[in-house]
Amino acid sequence: MFSFLCGCCHLNLNFCYPIAQVHAAALNGGLYNRPFLESFEETPMLVAVLTYMGYGILTVFGYLRDFLRHWKIERCHIAREKEEQKDFVPLYQDFENFYTRNLYMRIRDNWNRPICSVPGAKVDVIERASSDYNWTFNYTGRVVQEVINLGSYNYLGFAENTGPCATSAAEVTAKYGVGVASTRQEIGNLDGHEEMEKLVAKFLGVESAMAFGMGFATNSMNIPALAGKGCLILSDELNHASLVLGVRLSGSTIRVFKHNNMQNLEKLLREAIVHGQPRTHRPWKKILIVVEGIYSMEGSVVRLPEVIALKKRYRAYLYLDEAHSIGALGPRGRGVIDYFGLDPCDVDVMMGTFTKSFGAAGGYIAGKRELIEYLRSHSHSAVYATSMSPPVVEQIITSMKCIMGEDGTTIGLKRVQQLAGNVVYFRKRLQEMGFIIYGNEDSPVVPMMLYMPAKIGAFGREMLKRNIGVVVVGFPATPIIESRARFCISAAHTRDVLDRKEEKVVHVNIPRLVVPLIL
């Protein structure tokens, strides 16, 4: 056992069972008003060696197959340049596609599975088969019914085709139609858009908010409007691709800090203030810290109280992406700010999406009124993008009112509580069974480690045989030796469904030999 005091919180590292736990309480004047528990485990050395061996064998066979394709011994399905363009600079970078061509393609059947039902607690999956090792698929005509859905981000179960949300969306569709065919600044600003933005601001406890039709573009198109040349952006190393793209498009100087490592973040902040900009050493125009509420691959929750303390100390700005945490965390479902009991005004830019807990589409930016008015005229996503579809807007309004209790019922609150209970129960059961899982104990994103590349495809296929749909993830979305299955828990899941899933995970006999699956 090794432990030490870190600021206002107590960090406890147990070397016998390597799980990092942070305990913090308001009783001792700390930053946290509740225990903050997260679990991570380093990859065992033997597993790491076997994983690298697996990738090595895959690479060797990949080069062998490329050799056979080059001499037309094996049929080539790869996109190639036309014969008359063979002397051109290649449009398709052959070497860059090596991983996709020879590794990903072997297990491609685990992704892009078509469904033909509502993505609720259970889904219907259209069966498909491949006769050329997943280069092409043919539909068999069979539908696999009632597959337990542990892959959708349907945290509160609002992705449904019955109930008040579906009814309201249908009524609005009959009145307004589906498309707006214009931008908000022209003739596409509906009364529903205005109502939705006021409701979002009220829900988050801030002055103002604005909505966008695409969650990815909410990040990638708004960050460049907030920072530019002469600015410094400090980004968590595990931030989502939309955040990464946004900070790159901004033209700002970028510094990456270790995931959820407050010591590393403070070091970068201190150096930025002391040294200023490169060469000129002038002060930075602004420093923007970019973090997520819940990290979708790790299941970890941002240490927001510490981040806010650092941003206040060094007078930086904070951009918080609550794509996965809004609706899914906190006693009232108001996200990571509600989870820690913090003041929303301490976060300068609040971002989130409607695609997960609200069962809709799009995203939002919220904060002070001056910020929102600035973005309305400077954000590419606000100026050039088509307005959000009316039925999608109504889905957001109805589901948000349900969570807030403004529909006159407690259905929304019960769903928030049901999700919290399901998460704790599911994580506890997996740990009792001996599985290695990552993330915060209250996170609805539950990564279960698989490590070896052969297990990625095997696990996904074996689970589908048992009528369970899961998401499996490997390199480059994760570190090369940390492949995993990612479960997303929903309030729509019952305890019986979760128990059935756990029992079938235990009985999955994943082959230990890598070579047979590679061949």
For a pLDDT cut of 70, what percent of the chain falls above it?
90
The string of pLDDT tens digits covering residues 371-385 is 999 999 999 999 999
The string of pLDDT tens digits covering residues 308-336 is 999 999 999 999 999 999 999 999 999 99
The string of pLDDT tens digits covering residues 248-260 is 999 999 999 999 9
d(CA 437, CA 41): 8
Note the pLDDT of residue 95.
61
Banded model confidence at residue 247, pLDDT cuts 50, 70, 90: very high
More confident residue, 440 or 477: 440
d(CA 420, CA 79): 47
- Stretch 383-406: mean pLDDT, rounded? 96
Note the pLDDT of residue 35.
85
Q: Which ranges of 295-385 would DSSP assign to H, the alpha helix? A: 304-313, 336-340, 369-378, 380-384
Does the pLDDT value for residue 84 go beyond 60?
A: yes
Note the pLDDT of residue 72.
86
CB atoms within 10 A of CB 157: 20
Does the pLDDT value for residue 362 go beyond 90?
A: yes
Note the pLDDT of residue 10.
34
C-beta separation of 438 from 297 below 8 A: no
The string of pLDDT tens digits covering residues 148-176 is 999 999 999 999 999 999 999 999 999 99
C-beta separation of 451 from 51 below 8 A: yes
For 320, phi then psi, to 5°, come to -115, 120
The string of pLDDT tens digits covering residues 203-223 is 999 999 999 999 999 999 999
d(CA 38, CA 442): 9
The string of pLDDT tens digits covering residues 95-152 is 668 888 888 898 999 999 999 999 999 999 999 999 988 999 999 999 999 999 999 9
Strands 317-321 and 349-353 turn out to be: parallel
The string of pLDDT tens digits covering residues 54-80 is 999 999 999 999 899 889 898 888 777
Note the pLDDT of residue 453.
87
